[in-house]
Amino acid sequence: MKHLLLALCFFFTLPAFAAQPETGAAEGAKSETFDPGRVIMEHVADEHEWHFATLGNEETGTHLTLPLPVIAYQPGKGLSVFSSSQFHHAPGGVHAGLKLEEGHLVAEDGGKVYDFSITKNVASLILSCLILILVFHTVAGGYRTRQGSAPKGVQSLLEPIVVFIRDEVAKKSIGPKYERYMPYLLTIFFFIWFNNLLGLTPGAANLSGNITVTFMLALATLLITLFSSNKYYWSHIFRPPGVPLLLLPIIVPVEIVGIFIKPISLMVRLFANITAGHIIILSFISLIFLFKAATVGIIAIPFALFINLLELLVALLQAYIFTLLSAMYIGGAVEEHHDADFQMGGGSEGDQAHAH
């Protein structure tokens, strides 16, 4: 597929290259200012301001940007709180002894800086939480006012999803104790789904593609799994049933490492899938500005739209996968492994059959 795309791009842009005069090569190189790597990284990375769009030229055009609060603490100098727009007006981009380098806040003198700023991802996190609270407050109000009647509006849209998470995810993966974990499972599902969708809107932040956010979600699943675990879970870790004693020094470390590998896989899967989708879409669009040929748009725009529509499915799918795997990990920690006791303690065949 990649080879086909490269061949098509070469075919459609060949006339544009052939039409350029030889004397214009240097002038074209001089006027080339578009950096696709910088544009893509600015979109997927975090920033201290929220840039929505640029009207006109990059240098002289109008930038639609929302300044965000910069909150930084420097040992010996104290706390500094100001707007990120101050960096654009200050000489050399230095304000209060601070400056931005590749999106990171650093001290002009090279000292230590503790950054507590409201960045683009933090602002997007606050926005998504407010949207979730507003949506589910409306749904809860609908259940209170229309108790016993058919759901309407947002309630009718979200109720099948809640029922699906309860019946197909929580009950099947966790078992009889599922109700205790339903609030967490619903929270992470809708949090990931909403932020995945928000990330696809123009000018939005790539919150779900931030490794720190996915790390905290995976850490929450790990902590709930560990604090919910019973003695059968730990006995399976330190004394796996059916494993000879001589193999325990090998199997037990593998089982312990597996405890942490599971949330790491959750973290990396969500981060990689969401970030890759954004990069692919921006890469197709960047082809138009790289080749400076309208014919490239015939290929790039349909492919970018197709990937964008595909990302709508990926947004839902990744939220479902993260929730399902979290439920499975929790279910494995709270499950009563009666058969493990018999294999370890040596119960009779009749008792083992009764336990099954």
Spatial distance between the Cα atoms of 282 and 247, rounded to a whole number of angstroms: 50
* Predicted local distance difference test score (pLDDT) of residue 303: 87
Q: What is the pTM of this model?
A: 0.80
Domain borders along the chain are 120-343
Residue 353, pLDDT above cutoff 50: no
Beta-carbon contacts of 276 under 8 Å, excluding residues fewer than 6 positions away, are: none
For residue 258, the number of C-alpha atoms closer than 13 Å in the C-beta half-sphere is 13
Residue 287: band (very low, low, confident or very high) from pLDDT cuts 50, 70, 90: confident
Q: What are φ and ψ of residue 106, in 5° steps?
A: -130, 155
The model's pLDDT over 18-66, given as tens digits with 9 standing for 90+, comes to 333 333 444 444 445 677 777 777 778 888 888 877 777 666 667 788 8
The distance of Cα 202 from the centroid of its chain, to the nearest Å, equals 17
On whether the CB atoms of residues 306 and 198 are closer than 8 A, the answer is: no
Which of 214-223, 272-281, 337-346 has the largest mean confidence?
Answer: 214-223
Residue in 196, 222, 233, 235 with CA at minimum distance from that of residue 344:
235
Amino acid at 4: L
Spatial distance between the Cα atoms of 157 and 42, rounded to a whole number of angstroms: 35
* Predicted local distance difference test score (pLDDT) of residue 20: 37
Residue 128, pLDDT above cutoff 80: yes
